[in-house]
Amino acid sequence: MCQGIALSQCEIPDSLIERYQLSERIIRRGEGDIEFRFLLAERLPVLPVWHEGQFLILSWGNRDRHNKLPVSAWCAQESLEAGAWHHLRPREVFIPTSFAWDRGVWYQVREGLKGVLVRDCDRGQHVYVLTQPATHYYEVMTRNNREPVMVGETI
C-alpha cells in the first residue's frame, strides 16, 4: 500500500506553502529537488489533493473508531466498485506524488495516485488512498500484496 509520499516543491503553489504550514515538511533528496514529505505515521497524517480544481491538504484516512468513517488509510478499489462506500458519497481525487513509500522502499511515481474523498459531518473531509492487488514486481519490491492505484502507470 502506501505509507508516505513526497511531492516536489514545484508541484505546490507557493501561496499554499505558508497557508498549510508546509515548511516543516521540507526535505532534500541528496543534491536534488526540494520536496515536501507526508507520512502516515505522523500524529495527524495529511495528504495533498487536487479536488474540483482546488489544491487542498486533507486528513489522511481515519483513526477514530468513534465516528462513522472506515478506520483505515486506504480504500480497496474492489470495495469501492462493489458499492461498499456508497453511503459515504465518495468522490475521486488526485493525489499529486513524486515519490511514494511502502515498507521502507521509496519509488518514483510519474503522475500521482488516485484517492477517495469522503466527508465526516463532525470532522471535515478525509482522503483515502485507493489500492489494488499488487503486481508481482511491486509485491517483491515492497513485500506487500496491495499497491496504490497510480495515474497512468503500474509498477
Question: pLDDT tens across 48-75, in order?
Answer: 999 999 999 999 999 888 888 899 999 9
Boundaries of domain holding 52: 4-148
Residue 155 counted as domain residue: no
Give me the pLDDT at residue 96, please.
97
pLDDT of residue 21: 87
Residue 132 counted as domain residue? yes
Residue 138 CA to residue 143 CA, distance in Å, equals 8
* Rounded Cα gap, residues 107 and 118, in angstroms: 27
Q: Please give the pLDDT value at position 33.
A: 81
What average pLDDT does the chain have?
A: 92
Q: Is residue 124 part of a domain?
A: yes
Q: Are 116 and 128 in contact (CB under 8 A)?
A: yes
**Structural domain includes residue 140:** yes
Cα–Cα distance list, 97 to 89, 93, 149 (Å): 24, 12, 12
Is residue 9 one of the residues assigned to a domain?
A: yes
Do the domain assignments include residue 106? yes
Give a yes or no: residue 153 inside a domain. Answer: no
pLDDT value at residue 53: 93
Number of structural domains, the chain?
1
